[in-house]
Copies of this chain bind each other. A is one copy, B any other.
Amino acid sequence: MCAVVGIFDSKEAAKVAYYALFAMQHRGQEATGISTSNGSSIKTVKRRGLVTDVFDEEAFKLLQGAMAVGHNRYSTAGSASVLDAQPVTASYQLGEISIVHNGNLVNKNEVRSRLIEEGAIFQSSMDTENIIHLIARSQQERLQDRIVEALEAIKGAYSLLILSRHKMFAIRDRYGVRPLSLGKLPDGGYIVASETCAFDLVGAEFVRDIRPGEMVIFEEGKKAPRSVQLFEPDPRICAFEYIYFARPDSIIEGKNVYQVRQRMGRALAKESASKADLVIPVPDSGVAAALGYAKESGIPFEMAIVRNHYVGRTFIEPTQKMRDLKVKLKLSPMRSVLEGKSVVVIDDSIVRGTTSKQIVRLLKSVGVKEVHLKIAAPPIKHPCRYGIDTPSYEELISANHTEEEVCEYVGADSLSFLSIEALIESIGDKQRYSLVSFDGNYFIQ
């Protein structure tokens, strides 16, 4: 899971990128990086850590120029490689190039094998390297044509920003699986970002979304970007962006995430009403849906689980293990509000089921009479292959168990999921969505 940003024609491109990355850093952060071009060369600073830790005054001395691309990688269990930070910057036939990528290529192993067969070397496991290789090996004269040739060779979900010394390209795959939006900076330059919440912080005005299959070209000396429709659009924006990935104040394809989540909550209330005294969210992920559920059902909404935001990375472990310590460090349910109550608990998803199990146990431990766990999304039965990190089939509890079995495992008194239809309707009925995690319809293969 990643977020990307591109800045064009701004006096302090690197700093604007920095603030944009900061705004988009609302998940556990693993690594971040920024590349800038000053017209004659490209410089890159990237490292593991939070945005505020990676970039210091020294970094900004290096990152000069009016164009920048930046990247946030969010943490995923198991992947700890220091070397897999983006942007990936390389020298090649036409000079220097730097790429950031949000998404996932489904044919990356084939492409990689073929490239390796042809003599290429790979210094990381990132599919971004595939794209650079394809561009470097293209026989086209213009970078733009090389990019097109490279894109024709890859399949998958991608929102790409490509920086050369004089240009910046913003590209979205024909399905538009991962979001990418265009904004205008107060000083006249442009910003392209995965999430519009970045625009708000830097004071940019939303212009429009980059279209599925579109390439937008920002060229030194030209104020307005050019647009080329590379592929016929077949929009299937990832439903997961709405469900849990994006920040609630972001707007994806014209729809505010927070409002979409409220509609999911309302739909959940319609589909699976439970008699209960209270509706409570698992904070922060379930807040919007819980509000929607409460409004639709008329059951009072309470913020009855407190989330501790000061949780650091490293904890001294107690010698005698405290039960459920890890979840209790983050979440604290209020006995005064909950004791003796029947409660509808709203969360955004169940992946492995372990956290839900701990939350149910915590709630019962403060005297909750009945826990009706309601998930504002359908059960995750398939791994996403288009850029959201979901575990394999073996680990996905809903891939291997019925709802009843999951309910029993987590210890809830009842368990409901949103239907796929209601999910679609909540986002907006007109469009198609990437729903692979729910329906296993891998439309890019």
Is A306 within 8 A of B256, CB to CB? no
Q: Please tell me if the beta carbons of B336 and A258 are within 8 angstroms of each other in the complex.
A: yes
Is A245 engaged at the interface, CB distance under 8 Å to the other chain?
A: no
The answer on a CB contact under 8 Å between A136 and B123 is no
Asked if A301 lies at the interface with its beta carbon under 8 angstroms from chain B, I say yes
Identical chains bound together, number: 4
Contact B302 A291 (CB under 8 A): yes
Q: Is the CB of B91 within 8 A of A320?
A: no
Q: Is the CB of A256 within 8 A of B322?
A: no
Interface residues of A in 275-327 (CB under 8 A from B): 287-288, 291, 295, 300-304, 306, 308-310, 312-316, 318-320, 322-323, 325
Residues facing B in A181-225 (CB within 8 A) are: 187, 197, 200-203
Whether B93 and A316, one on each chain, are in contact in the complex, defined by CB atoms closer than 8 angstroms, is no
Residues of B within 8 A of A369 (CB): none
Q: Is A236 an interface residue (CB 8 A)?
A: no
Flag A92-130 by CB within 8 Å of B: 1 or 0 each.
Answer: 110000000000000000001000111111110000000
Nearest to A334 among chain B residues (CB) is B249
Contact in complex: A316, B15 (CB < 8 Å): yes
A123-B88 in contact (CB<8A): yes
CB of A264 within 8 A of chain B? no
A231 in the interface (beta carbon within 8 A): no
> B318 touching A12 by the CB < 8 A rule?
yes
A121 in complex: contacting residue of B92, B312, B329, CB < 8 Å: B92
A251 to B338, CA, bound (A): 13
Pick from B19, B25, B295: contact of A300, CB under 8 Å: B295
A148 on the B face (CB < 8 A)? no
A336 and B82 contact, Cβ closer than 8 Å, known pairs A93-B116, A200-B328, A203-B323: no
Q: Is the CB of A26 within 8 A of B334?
A: no
Q: How far is the CB of A180 from chain B (nearest CB, A)?
A: 19
A26 CB to nearest B CB, Å: 7
A112 to B93, CA, bound (A): 10
Chain B residues near A22 (CB-CB < 8 A): 310, 329
What are the nearest 8 A-B pairs in CB distance? A256-B336, A52-B312, A119-B137, A90-B121, A309-B309, A91-B122, A249-B306, A121-B136
Q: List 23 A-B contacts (CB under 8 A).
A: A12-B318, A15-B318, A19-B318, A22-B310, A23-B308, A26-B308, A56-B316, A89-B123, A90-B121, A91-B121, A92-B116, A92-B119, A92-B120, A93-B119, A119-B120, A120-B120, A201-B322, A203-B323, A248-B303, A249-B333, A259-B337, A288-B303, A291-B301
